[in-house]
Every structure is written in structure tokens, then in C-alpha cells.
Structure 1
């Protein structure tokens, strides 16, 4: 590594640039945005990085680093790549415990000594296609990141041209071009390796593996000088890389973890992706079809556990139709409630993120002796366009929630606040509600008879056949009202079927009339 790389004049990093990372974060920028890192943060391969005492969320980010060769000021996009001399590997380390107070500047969270290791080898930028570079990252020899510049939202040359509009990029300046999905938390004793290569170029040039070992610091921050490290569920989510990490058993290692230790439970469950949306036509059919008819069609198809038992509507005569957004509570435990019950917890995240036409389905283990939502959260769900809420727990502010007009199916009212029986744990995962398994994207239909869960791949045929059956049942009811006995009529035998079809036309048997 040259002296210029060891001590660049400027280090400029982009916030989000890979589609995989942007999708993971749930936001895709229209234009690139940047932050600076100090030159003192540069490290070399084989070095160490310290996780400061009293912190828990040190995260790695494997990145492609561009090193400017000739100064660039207001360069055109077509000319921008010619100003890049070298390409190498970078680890854009960050301490999420300090991120909130940095408010996007990342001065402290990304500026620590050794937080920008580079190298170890330089790839001649003239020999590679900037659109065909690859970056990979390993933690303790396990591959964690693997992406190429084909997955960039903003091409590498665009970053050079864009930055040159605002200031001169000087020889030796470094541009960190963003990290793909897979970045996550590392702990003392972990060994991180980053490699950038061009596997399609002649000779397959590579940076070699940039190796960094995490150590545990023993000097805490001084709260009298500035703000202290602090974490919440949002920072845990973004540091670990997925929403369930704030409440799925991910350990807090900020106190008591010594160098060389690893978390006892570092597995993070991935959220289940919602798999269905309802067209206006399909939603209209479901609003017309009764749950009794839908459940009968599900049973014909072998689905006997489609009922959410024990819940009734807070508004008489209300009906809900929508796709499930799930929220899971676990049994109360003092230490877990301290870490997951406050702040921007899973309950608040679910109600803040529910989309138009979704039904929030809450797993509360059938315990009606505490509220799982109240009027404030009901207002938020209503404002977001939620179709309703189904919970196998209780509802606080029951009358007020009903006045808001949000349909809620629950076990009834209970005045207790959160923290008596439940800990809000995670969202968008498979849950159990009233004895039924519910996944995000499942279709939820509720009326006076109760609530049913329909797998998305069955909903079209189930609702069509249920509506056909409704027509038949209405005709049967007319015959019974006219004085005919039900034997042979309900269900219809061959004679009654012939009479029915003579009047109404035959059924195709697939839920449509002809």
C-alpha cells in the first residue's frame, strides 16, 4: 500500500448504493448521498479494531474503495472513470451505539481509529470494467456478503462525476462505494475478511483479503464530555441487518463480553415475506362471501385448522378482509421487557408500518388478561388504512377503539397496559393466533361467525366456490321456506340438483356459473 492510500486527504462514503442493501433497509434513494470519514480511521490488513467499552453494535461493511489518481473537478460521466487510479477492498466499520446522535453525519459512529481498513493490494483501475467488480466478506471464514457492481443503484463512475460537481477530488482521495446486503454485527474475537476482485478480467486481479480482528476496549466514554452510547430497536435492526434482530434472541453484548467471547445466541431469524396482495375485484368477492362458506370450502380442501378461535368483533356487524401483517408477543420476563418493551418496540413498529388493506394479526397466546392495543395504536392503524386487527388477547380502551371505527376481533376488553403479561417481540413472522398459524400475506376474513385464515394460493378458488355455494344455499332456503323437507334437499340429491339446474343453469364445479 502506498503512503497516499495509508493517509488519504479525504475519505468520502456513500450511505446506500446497492439494491440489495436498499431493499433490506426498506428505502431506495433517488440520488446518492454521502458522509466523510477522517483519515485517521484508515487501517491496514492484519490490524485490529476496538469495540469500545459499554457498546454492543459494532458492524462490518465490505466495500469497494476507489482511489483517485488524477484530480477531478466537474468531470463528465464518460470521463469520470479515467480519474480513478486504483481499486481495493475496504471495511467501512461503524458503531451503531453512536449513530442516532450523529444524525446521518456518522462522525463518531464511523470515524473511530481503524474504522476504515483498506487493501491489502491495489487493482489497476485501467484493467477492469467498473460494472463487473465483485465484493465479498467473511466473518470467521463464513461467507456473509457476495455481490457485484451489477447490483449498484448508482454506477461507480457516477459517484466520481457527482462528487466532482461539489469539490475537487484530489490524488489519493478515497471513495467508499457502499455495501451490499449481509452486513451485520461483529464481536470481540471475530475475524473479518474483505476481498474485491474482477473475476472476468484478464488475470482475475484481486485486492487479496483485507483482514481485521475485533478486540474489546476497556475505556468507557465520558458522559460529561458528550452523549453516551445508546441503542434502541431501530439501531439494533439496522446493525444486525434484519428487523427480527431487535427481538429474536439476539444478545446484547455491550456489558460483560470480553475479548474472544462470541454471543451464545447470535442467530437472527429472517422475516417471512408477505406473499399476497388483493385486487379490488378479489377483495369485493371476499367481502360478499361469509366466513362460514369460506371455511366449508377450506375444509373440502383439507384445511381443518383455518379458524382463529375465541375472538369476537368490537363493532357489531363489522367485517374485515385483508392480508395479514403479523405481530408476536412472548410471555413477560423482566429483563426482556427492559430490552424490548420500551422505545420503538415491535408493537409500535407493526402499527407504524401496516399498509392499506392489511390486517394486523397478533399472537398473544390466548391470554385475555392484558391489552394488546389501545386507542392510540388504533388511531395509527386507522390512519394507515389498516383493514382491522385480530388478536387472541385483550383490548385496552375498548369503547374508544370501537368509536374510532377500526374493526378489531379480540377476546374482549381489559384495562391493563403493556408489560403485565406480554413482551412485544417481533413483526412479519409466522405467528399462532387463536390456535391458527398465520403467515404474513395470508388472507384474513372475519365476520359475525368468526375469523378464518386462507392461504394465498387458494383464495381465488375458495371464494369463487363459496359464492356459488351461497347461491345454492339461498335457493335451498327458498324451498325449505315453501314447506319442503330438508332430507334430500340439503345437501341436494340428484332429483333436487336437476330441479335447481333447470331453474338456474348448471354449475361448472369450479366456482363459476354458466
Structure 2
């Protein structure tokens, strides 16, 4: 079998909604198909680029199966429609959601841009498989984000041809983009999107090959003589793929970061620069007090204030002697469910969002429900957090690529190694919300500190007084240790009674403290 060339089509017709997984994301299932046209000037091949226009935020990919008409079709039946198809190939139906409102459903501006319809790289004869035998998959930066098959379609290929032929004549070479499954999401300059269509059940599992497109940033602004880009939360929700993913993006400030890209104020991933200012709750004075203070000592100060369940249980550092200190940035996983993973596991999901937007000095804290039987972070994400300047990662789940992660400088506290990838036990759900990690409630902005004894959570409003008390207690403990080393008995010394406290103050010049124990 030889892959066939793709001729320039006279018409490109695209279907709005056709996969049940995508319809579930949109919250509506159409009774009949609806369509829009794309211009031939939007066509591109593999290895090309697609430009996110200057001043826009929401460029989204849509991996699709494209069918190519082989014979003239007018008023054909659904049964005959599939027989009018000569070839099958891969397509990427790029669109800029910032321009949807201006199009009122026509999609001329938001999906008609140059390079917005990559096609190919090769076409397969339709005779290689039945209309139910095709699969589409999409990868972003090497990660699989979309996968579905034609046997799930709301409107099969033959029905699309028949329906369209009621209204217009389909000519040989015309292309029909048959819809995208769940997993479509926003991409940013620097991302690489790949789409492949194959027939896994056919002999030899024939494939179109991967249709590769790299996202670039446009620099030419829109003029004053046309509609300008405009977006609202409804467009953001649809672009990101779901309300939860949009909420996570907003919570993490990702939309603002993308705006900054167009102005040259952020890196190519859309994340804010690594020089972002550190939050002020951990001032230099507070950090100096906490320097060298043991987690065990801090836990005593918190217990005095009624905070007993501030321990992230069951986690240990990947490097012996590691210490971690920073403000919490939270990521929440929920238990795996196939439909929820289909809607939230692909694309720029909450997990990627968390690691791509963590700020310098923050600690990524992951709620994995104490599930050790799967990985929650691997080498690529850990490296991304390190490059972003994160102070560390804490997860009450497992770590994939454990040995590789241990080679990085970033401290990672976890339940230990596990080789599985995302999708075995978890669905990445949301970021920057209150979570439960290792039995402790953690809110964004809480102070996270860990050492060989474990990891604890300090409410930010308490950190200054707790740090001062714990630092004083450390000084007292050091004094006690010196006395014991010199031969003193511990009775009355540990904790120090009034006599020993008086001696301590006289010898060290320390004032009265409530930290004695």
C-alpha cells in the first residue's frame, strides 16, 4: 500500500460537534450536524508553523480525521455516502477563540487564518478500513492529549456526506473535517502539536504519519478598521476544554501571563518570568529565624496554639538531609474515572498548569489522597518546577522516574517511587484550591517547611510568631544539650525549671520566653 498525495481541495467543510466526548465537554449534544467553511489559504502541511496572532490569548488545537471526496456527490443516501470517499488523512483545525464573537458562528476569522488547517502528511485509501475503523490521536510536546475512534461518532462519515449533498454538490478533492474529540485545549508559542490518523484494525495498521505543527507568536497588530480580539469567561471555558480547567487557569493567573507574552513580558510557555517577586510573608527576618529550626520544634509551637493536624504524613525526601521552605501552590487529583479523565486528563490539564505556573520560592503541594500506587510527578515536571525556581515539591502520592528526579537539585518529598504514568489512579482536577495532603489541610499561601522529621503546614498569619518562638526554643535546646554533654542530669533541665531558666538567661543574655518546655 502506498500513501497517496493530497490535492488542493475546492472546498473545506468542517463539522462543529461530532464526538460524544467533546459534546460532553460542551454540555450539549446536537440532534443534527452543523458545519462551517474554511478557506483553502488556511491549508498547511507537516513541519510548518501556525501563528498565534498578536494580542490574542486563546489559540486552540483540534486533532481531526479528514475525509476526502473521491466522486461527485449530490443527493446521495447515508448508505452511499461512505462510498463517495476516496481518502482519509489527518487534520488540525486550529482556531483563535478571541475572534469567535466577531464571527457569529461562521468561524471565518477565528479559524480561517493562514496555516490554520494543517493537513496530511499523507492520505490513506478509504478502502483500507470501514468508516468505523479509523483512529485519531494528538500529542502536544510529546504528550498524548487526544485519542478517539470513528466508531463513536454521533454522525458517521457517510451521513455527513449525505447530509451535505442535500444542500450542495461535493466535488472530487473536497475535504470534510469530521470533528474533534475531547482533549482540545490552548497552546502557546513554542508548543509542538502532532496529529496522526491510522486504522489500527486493518492489515499493517496503516497510518498517515504525524502531522507536525509548531506554534509561533505573531507580531503584527490588528488594525483599527476591523473587529479586535475580545474574550470572556465563556470563551475561555470552551478554549481550555472545561470549566474546571478554565477555573484552574484563572486561579493560577495563566490568562494574564499569556497576555504578557504578546507584550514580550513572559517566556515562550506563557509563564511569568522567574524574577517574579517573592511573597512578603516569608520576609528576610522570618527566614533568618527559621534557618536551622527543626520541624519538630515548630510543631510544638503550633501545638500550643491548637494546631495538631498540621503534619503531611507519610512523606520523605528524595535526598537525605533535604530541607524545604516556601509558600504552598496546590494541585488536587481526584480518583480516576474514564469519562472524567477524558475531559480533564489531556491538553493543558491542571497538572501541567501547576508546574508551568509555579513561582520562585513556592512549594508545589499535591493532593493524591495518599495513593502510593501511581506516580504524581515525573522527571520532566520536576525539572520544569526546578527551572521555574520552585522551592520544592510535596506529594502524598508516588514519584515516577524516581532515580532521575533524585539527580535534580529540587527537594521532593513523597511516599516513594512508582513507575506508572498519569491515568492509572488519578485525574488532574484543579489548582490553587484548599486541599488535603497527607492528612493536613493546605491552602494556597500556607507556609510549607520540611526536613528529615517530615513536612508541616503553618498558617501564614502565625508564621512570624511561631518562627520567633521556635528559634528561641532551638537556642534553649542547644543550651540544654551542652549541659547534658557536660554531665548534667536531665531532671529539671529538660524541660528547664525556674532555676535552670535563670542560669540560661544569665549565661546567654536571653530574655524570658514562653517557649520553655
- Normalising by structure 2, report the TM-score: 0.53
User: Offset of 1:246 from its aligned partner?
Assistant: 6.0
- Name the SS of the counterpart of 2:507 in structure 1: helix
Is the 1:313–1:410 Cα contact (8 Å) retained in structure 2?
yes
- State whether structure 2 residue 295 is matched by structure 1 residue 302: no
Distance change >3 Å, CA 356–CA 249, structure 1 → 2 = closer
* 3-state SS in 1 of match to 2:416: coil
**SS at structure 1 position matched to 2:374:** coil
Cα distance between partner residues in 2 of 1:481 and 1:113: 81
The equivalent residue for 1:460 is: 464
Query: Structure 1, residues 316-347: CA drift from partner, whole Å, max 9, x if none?
Result: 11101000010111111111111111111111
Match of 2:488 in 1: 484
Distance 2:452 2:160 in 1: 62
Rate the CA distance shift 1:349–1:237 in 2: closer, same or farther, 3 A: farther
1:288 aligned counterpart, secondary structure: coil
Relative to structure 1, is the Cα distance of residues 410 and 335 closer, same or farther in structure 2, using a 3 angstrom cutoff? same
Structure 2 partner of 1:380: 384
Instruction: Pick from 455, 468, 473 the counterpart of residue 469 of structure 1.
Output: 473
Equivalent in 348, 359, 363 of residue 363 of structure 2: 359
Distance 1:374 1:362 in 2: 13
Conservation of the 8 A alpha-carbon contact between 2:59 and 2:96 = no
1:448 equivalenced with 2:452 (yes/no): yes
Match of 1:111 among 92, 96, 103: 103
Which of 95, 100, 106 pairs up with 1:102? 95
Match of 1:393 in 2: 397
Is the CA contact 1:319–1:407 (under 8 Å) kept in the aligned structure 2? yes
DSSP 3-state at the match of 1:432: strand
Contact (CA 8 Å) 1:96, 1:109: kept in 2 or not? no
Offset, 1:288: 2.2
The correspondence for 1:331, drawn from 328, 335, 338, is: 335
Question: What is the 5 A alignment of 1:112-261?
Answer: 112=104, 224-225=175-176, 228=179, 232-234=184-186, 238-239=233-234
* 1:6-155 matched pairs, under 5 angstroms: 53-54=17-18, 101-103=94-96, 106=99, 110-112=102-104
Equivalent residue for 2:47?
A: none
Unpaired runs of at least 5, structure 1 = 1-50, 59-93, 116-217, 252-266
Contact 2:61-2:95 within 8 A present in 1 as well: no
Pair 463,95 (structure 1): closer, same or farther in 2 beyond 3 Å: closer
**How does the TM-score come out when normalised to structure 1?**
0.53
- How far did residue 227 of structure 1 move? 8.0
Q: 2:328 touches 2:447 (CA, 8 Å); kept in 1?
A: yes
- Cα gap change, 1:113 to 1:446, in 2 (>3 Å): closer
- List gaps (5 residues or longer) in structure 2: 1-14, 28-57, 63-91, 108-158, 165-173, 188-230, 254-277
Contact map agreement 1:308 1:436 (CA 8 A) in 2: yes
Alpha-carbon displacement from aligned partner over 1:281-306 (angstroms, at most 9, x marks no partner): 32343232111111111111110011
Q: Is the 8 A contact 2:371 2:396 kept in 1?
A: yes
Describe the shift of the 1:381–1:96 C-alpha distance in structure 2 as closer, same or farther (beyond 3 A): closer
The change in CA–CA distance for 1:463 and 1:240 in structure 2 (over 3 A counts) is farther
How many angstroms apart in 2 are the aligned matches of 1:390 and 1:288?
Answer: 20
Structure 1, residues 157-209: CA drift from partner, whole Å, max 9, x if none?
A: xxxxxxxxxxxxxxxxxxxxxxxxxxxxxxxxxxxxxxxxxxxxxxxxxxxxx
8 A Cα contact 1:275 1:456, kept in partner: no
Alignment-derived partner of residue 44 in structure 2:
none
Residues 1:52 and 1:233: Cα distance change in structure 2 (over 3 Å): closer
- In the alignment, the residues of structure 2 paired with residue 317 and residue 441 of structure 1 have an alpha-carbon distance, to the nearest angstrom, of 25
CA RMSD of aligned residues (A): 4.1
From 496, 502, 505, the counterpart of 1:498? 502
* CA distance in structure 2 between the aligned counterparts of 1:383 and 1:97, rounded to whole angstroms: 26
Aligned to 1:8: none
- Give the Cα separation in 2 of the matches to 1:327 and 1:237: 25
Aligned residue-pair number? 310
Partner of 2:344: 340
2:245 touches 2:430 (CA, 8 Å); kept in 1? no
Q: Is the 8 A contact 1:242 1:271 kept in 2?
A: no
> Alignment partner of 1:404: what SS?
coil
